[in-house]
Amino acid sequence: MSAFWLFVIILALAALGFILGRSRAISSVQGDRRLLHSLPNYYGFNVAMLAFVPAVLVLGAWVIIQPMMISSQVSTHIPAALYEDAGQLNLIMSDVKRVADGLDVAVAQGLMSAEGASQLNTETTDVRALLGEVGVALGSDVDPSVLNAAQEMRSKTTSGNLFMTIVVLIVAAAGFVAAMLKTRGDFRARNAVEGGVKALLIAAASIAILTTIGIVLSLIFNTITFFGMFPASDFLFGLTWSPEGRGGSEHLGILPLLWGTIYISIVALLVAVPIGLFAAVYLSEYASRATRAFAKPLLEVLAGIPTIVYGLFALTVVGPLLVNFFGADGLGWMQGARSVMTAGLVMGIMLIPFVSSLSDDIINAVPQAMRDGSYGLGATQSETVRQVVLPAALPGIVGAILLAASRAIGETMIVVMGAGAAARLDLNPFEAMTTVTAKIVSQLTGDSDFASPEALVAFALGMTLFLLTLGLNVLALYIVRKYREQYE
Amino acid sequence: MSDASLQSGPEMGTPRAKSSILQLDQRTKKRNAAEARFRAYGIAAIAVGLVFLVVLITSIFFKGVGAFQQTFITLDVELLESKLDKTGERDIEKIKKVTTFGYNPLIENALKAAMEEAGVDNPFAKGKDLRKMLSSGAAADLRRFVIANPDRIGDTVQFRLLASSRVDGYLKDRVTRESLARDKNLTPVHLDVVDQLKGAGVVAKSFNLGFITGADASESRPEQAGIGVSMLGSLYMMLVVLACALPIGVAASIYLEEFAPQNWITDLIEVNISNLAAVPSIVFGILGLAVFIQFAHLPQSAPLVGGLVLTLMTLPTIIISTRASLKSVPPSIREAALGVGASKMQTVFHHVLPLAMPGILTGTIIGLAQALGETAPLLLIGMVGYIASNYPGGIIEGFMSPNSAMPAQIYEWAKRADPAYYERAWGGIIILLVFLMTMNIIAIILRRRFERRW
């Protein structure tokens, strides 16, 4: 039985449990609801919950684990002569899976019987043509050992599915019966149900932790594999990045990428911080209510525009514009539309609302009494801002700038489209450079297999990026917490 | 400055005779000038920000609006029986055997006839050169029509066929005679013909519905490319995000806001959530690649995987805004419910949650809008590079089979070499922004209409 129908059956059992549990509770007190501990529905929910939740958990775990177990068992039966490393074994296993799926389809369409499929032989039948008929295209002819493995996989899956059906149904029935037996007038059904709901809430809250664990584990494992193939010191301190490897040698040094990232971020912050900060000061200290209500949301629109739009803007508007001034016809500093300046400028535009609205909040949090004190001593408004308000808000502003920097470092689309692909250590801001994020994209898209150092390096880059942005965020929080003046 | 008057007192001893309270002294003038300058900096900063916004919006509009117009060539094509159905049996299988090559002569004849009618001399010896004015997909359009209506074979039917992207570019001023000098797809001679046909009304620009509903096309046929299929991909992705992120986000916020005890686990979860909100989106792409594709073997490029990755990405946003709106429900509501005997769980689900719902929905819509425009994680799970050329067959296929998504499609177009695709990319951005704007406006209306001030 397929997992889907099993799920439907469990669902039906739960619905039945709700009705039966509810009526059993009412009849156990001879219809006098006042004698029940909880509202009747809670008895129903309790039965439904116990019938549904454990069974679905078992089902979900089984569906995830069974294919992995089977494929690891089957892969041990593939003759070692057929593959050299784990990558090739993976390819063979995906072939096996395709053949097994194709046989399933063929049986489902009635092209052959179930026994026919398990007795299929490469010598008597053209398996590839057969599977092609049912719409499963294979890249090459089917090797006998692959067919055998596929048949073994099918038989194991069939028996596994049978076993799963039995176990899941037993679990569901056991939960159902246990809950029914407990259903009596004095049973504290509401507490039981609320306990279950609370467990659900806790599970939802811990998904945040699971996500972080998932990120860290997927980065760490792949990074370790990468460092097994490529020396860590060459990665961390290498000055060249050329994954293609001319003459068989590849250089995967991160320093040029880090330099590009930092250079572009600096340009972006040089654009965003002055504009954002002055805008925030003006909006919170000078602007009339009407101006503020008009300009603040408009500036924040800049933050709501997707980064792909900024990327295309950099590529087709800002880049060519810069080439007009600094290119071969102008000052001759710029070769192509893609450069550090292009990406940095556009990223700066994107970060303006980020800096301005964070700083705006922080400036507004400075108490009015401090300004009044300053005015009382004869200071002008700008002197008050520069010498009283900004120093008081400084930790918050530094925090905002650090958050903006972490944004800039992690930004992908603008640099992919605007900064170029050449990794170099250069000081000319009109030169094309590349960043960590752009290289993650270029190493992981395309047809490269995941076992090669060229693809795995992306995980090491991702790890670097993750640690870098995490560090900046933590630092920002620390500064804000440590140096914040408490005015209340 | 507080000590300003103290310092300036003795200095101003000599000029005091001239100075009065109505006459500003040097130092005050300087300070006032500094004040004016500071104010001007502020205004300039805001002006620069707004100018950037205006430039961005206008360039999006002017560069993208062309994608909604397309050049069509209206031709009366005679569907010759001798070419399409030699046996005359109207056997659909035999008609299907005629490939698009078989339809090319019909198009050439129709073009020649149209040119004759318009009084245009045919400068080309070969019909193949003439056909370059039309999209290479035109013959396929014809074939599709004939297979759908085999009884029309032998009739003369009027078709509105797509012009080739070069001709389209010429009518939109993207292509000039100079730029065609070394182009092998079209020559300036073609443009003379196009000019005359345009005068005769055979070649004309009109609204391009195909761009909104159509599928992506191969690199050589930008005139056929549309964003419809990837729009559907985005829709499926958003359904996944909505179905996963809203319940999980609300449940997590309820726990953290209403039930969680103050201990290190709760702290850990909170720190985690605020950190996840700041993790670069590409890292979520790496996570999706490693966990959903490498580990769980979910299909690559599928909207399901994209939706799951975007769910993880938007969860922190949704949790943060949900917690804020739960917090804004005053404690008196909770106390009243508890006072009449409701349990903690009943208080939350019967009273607090319904009151917080408008705020939660607003936050969710804004989170969805953010997810809709996100591109970087989609690059890593293979949604770029997949040519979304077919509509998915059914709902399950819509979730599981490879598709593109709007931002991924835009990026894909921006990568292609033909400048005609830039126009498509900007057009796609207009559509994307229309969606985002609608979602944000709905969120604002929800907030204005239902938000309660306590």
**Which of A348, A342, A302, A307 is closest to A322 using CA atoms?**
A342
- Å from B343 to nearest chain A CA? 9
Give the residue with greater pLDDT, A11 vs A108.
A11
- Using pLDDT thresholds of 50, 70 and 90, give the confidence band for residue B19: low
Residue B1 pLDDT > 50, yes or no? no
For the CA atoms of chain A, what is the radius of gyration? 32
- Using pLDDT thresholds of 50, 70 and 90, give the confidence band for residue B50: very high
Residues 342-371 of A with CB under 8 A from B: 349, 352-353, 356
pTM for this structure? Answer: 0.86
Residue A446 pLDDT > 80, yes or no? no
CB atoms within 10 A of CB A451: 16
Please indicate if any CB of chain A lies within 8 Å of the CB of B6: no
- pLDDT more than 90, % of chain A: 35
> What residues of chain B lie within 8 A of the CB of A410, using their CB?
279-283
Give residue A422's pLDDT.
80
Query: Residue B74's beta-bridge partner residues?
Result: B160
CB atoms within 10 A of CB B235: 16
Residue A354 pLDDT > 70, yes or no? yes
Please indicate if any CB of chain B lies within 8 Å of the CB of A305: yes
Q: With CB atoms and an 8 Å threshold, state whether B375 touches A413.
A: yes
For residue A451, give the chain B residue with the closest CA: B294
Q: Name residue B175's amino acid.
A: V
Q: What is the mean pLDDT of residues A389-413?
A: 91
> What residues of chain B lie within 8 A of the CB of A278, using their CB?
41-42, 44-46
d(CA A87, CA A450): 8
What's the number of CA atoms in the CB half-sphere (13 Å) around residue B368?
27
Q: Name the token pair of B136.
A: 């290479």
Give the residue with greater pLDDT, B402 vs A332.
B402
Residue A7 pLDDT > 70, yes or no? yes
**Which of B318, B293, B297, B300 is closest to B241 using CA atoms?**
B318
Taking CA atoms, A134 is separated from A137, B39, B266, B389, in Å, by: 9, 74, 53, 22
Highest mean pLDDT among A198-202, A227-231, B214-218: A198-202
Give residue B3's pLDDT.
47
d(CA A142, CA A134): 15
Taking CA atoms, B327 is separated from B253, B317, B353, in Å, by: 10, 16, 11
What mean pLDDT is reported for chain A?
Answer: 85
pLDDT tens per residue across span B129-184:
778 888 888 888 888 888 888 788 878 888 888 888 888 888 888 888 877 777 77
For the CA atoms of chain B, what is the radius of gyration? 32
Residues 166-225 of A with CB under 8 A from B: 190, 194, 197-198, 200-209, 211-212, 214-215, 218-219, 221-222
- Å from B383 to nearest chain A CA? 10
- Å from A11 to nearest chain B CA? 18
Give residue B2's pLDDT.
47
Q: Residue A186 phi/psi, 5° resolution?
A: -95, 5
> What residues of chain A lie within 8 A of the CB of B287, using their CB?
211, 214-215, 218
Give the residue with greater pLDDT, B388 vs B406.
B406
Give the residue with greater pLDDT, A445 vs A340.
A340
Q: With CB atoms and an 8 Å threshold, state whether A302 touches B275.
A: no
- Using pLDDT thresholds of 50, 70 and 90, give the confidence band for residue A166: very high
Q: Chain A to chain B, count of Cβ pairs less than 8 Å apart?
A: 262
For residue A449, give the chain B residue with the closest CA: B294
Residues 269-298 of A with CB under 8 A from B: 274-279, 281-283, 285-286, 295, 298
Which residue bears the tokens 């999706």?
A: B288
Residue B14 pLDDT > 90, yes or no? no
Residues 282-301 of B with CB under 8 A from A: 282-284, 286-287, 289-291, 294-297
Taking CA atoms, B273 is separated from A347, B253, B318, in Å, by: 25, 11, 10
- Å from A64 to nearest chain B CA? 7
SS3 B227: coil
- Å from B422 to nearest chain A CA? 8
Interface test with A, best of B63, B287, B313, B448 (most A CBs within 10 A): B287
Give residue B125's pLDDT.
73
Q: Which long-range contacts (CB under 8 A, 24 or more apart) does A382-388 make?
A: A382/B34, A382/B35, A382/B37, A382/B38, A382/B39, A383/B1, A383/B31, A383/B34, A383/B35, A385/A281, A385/A285, A385/B38, A386/B38, A387/B1
User: Among B34, B55, B376, whose Cβ lies nearest the Cβ of A412?
Assistant: B376
Residue B229 pLDDT > 70, yes or no? yes
Taking CA atoms, B402 is separated from A23, A105, B12, B306, in Å, by: 48, 19, 81, 10
Say which residues have a Cβ less than 8 Å from residue B327's Cβ, sequence separation at least 6. B257
User: Among B63, B272, B382, whose Cβ lies nearest the Cβ of A209?
Assistant: B272
Residues 140-179 of B with CB under 8 A from A: none
DSSP assignments along A335-382, one per residue: -SS--HHHHHHHHHHHHHHHHHHHHHHHHHHS-HHHHHHHHHTT--HH
Q: With CB atoms and an 8 Å threshold, state whether B297 touches A301.
A: no
Please indicate if any CB of chain A lies within 8 Å of the CB of B2: yes
Chain centroid to CA B219: 19
> What residues of chain B lie within 8 A of the CB of A198, using their CB?
255, 259, 345
Q: Name the token pair of A262.
A: 């930092």
Q: With CB atoms and an 8 Å threshold, state whether A473 touches B275.
A: yes
Q: Name residue B213's amino acid.
A: T
Q: Residue B177 phi/psi, 5° resolution?
A: -60, -35
Does the model's ipTM exceed the 0.90 cut? no
Give residue B13's pLDDT.
46
Q: With CB atoms and an 8 Å threshold, state whether B410 touches A308.
A: yes
Give the residue with greater pLDDT, B337 vs A422.
B337
Q: What is the mean pLDDT of residues A334-341?
A: 83
pLDDT tens per residue across span A219-256:
998 889 888 888 888 888 888 887 765 555 677 888 88
Q: Name residue B42's amino acid.
A: G
- 3-state SS, one letter per residue, for A55-77: HHHHHHHHHHHHHHHHHHHHHCC
d(CA A211, CA A223): 18
**Which of A71, A431, A21, A87 is closest to A259 using CA atoms?**
A431
Interface test with A, best of B51, B271, B279 (most A CBs within 10 A): B279
Taking CA atoms, B99 is separated from B86, B88, B277, in Å, by: 14, 17, 54
Q: Residue A140 phi/psi, 5° resolution?
A: -145, 175
What mean pLDDT is reported for chain B?
Answer: 85
- Å from A384 to nearest chain B CA? 9
C-beta of residue B186 within 8 angstroms of C-beta of residue B132: yes
CB atoms within 10 A of CB A167: 14
Q: With CB atoms and an 8 Å threshold, state whether B50 touches A276.
A: no
d(CA B94, CA B82): 13
- b/e string for A337-372 if b means 16 or more Cβ within 10 A? bbbbbbbbbbbbbbbbbbbbbbbbebbeebeeebbe
What is the 3-state composition of chain B as percent helix, strand, coil, each rounded to the nearest 5?
65, 5, 25
C-beta of residue B350 within 8 angstroms of C-beta of residue B342: yes
What's the number of CA atoms in the CB half-sphere (13 Å) around residue B252?
28
Give the residue with greater pLDDT, A69 vs A17.
A17
DSSP assignments along B265-277, one per residue: HHHHHHHHHHHHT
Which residue bears the tokens 């039981």?
A: A192
Residue A135 pLDDT > 70, yes or no? no
Residue A371 pLDDT > 90, yes or no? yes
d(CA A281, CA A257): 35
pLDDT tens per residue across span A250-307:
778 888 899 999 999 999 999 999 999 999 999 999 999 999 889 988 998 898 899 9
- Among A104-113, A380-389, B398-407, whose mean pLDDT is lowest? A104-113
d(CA A158, CA A147): 16
Residue B324 pLDDT > 60, yes or no? yes
Residue A30 pLDDT > 80, yes or no? yes
For residue B38, give the chain A residue with the closest CA: A382
For residue A214, give the chain B residue with the closest CA: B287
> What residues of chain A lie within 8 A of the CB of B49, using their CB?
275-276, 279, 299, 302, 352-353, 356
Q: With CB atoms and an 8 Å threshold, state whether B247 touches A204.
A: yes
Q: With CB atoms and an 8 Å threshold, state whether A306 touches B269.
A: no
pLDDT tens per residue across span A70-79:
878 887 777 7
Q: With CB atoms and an 8 Å threshold, state whether A312 touches B278.
A: no
User: Among B45, B278, B385, whose Cβ lies nearest the Cβ of A406?
Assistant: B278
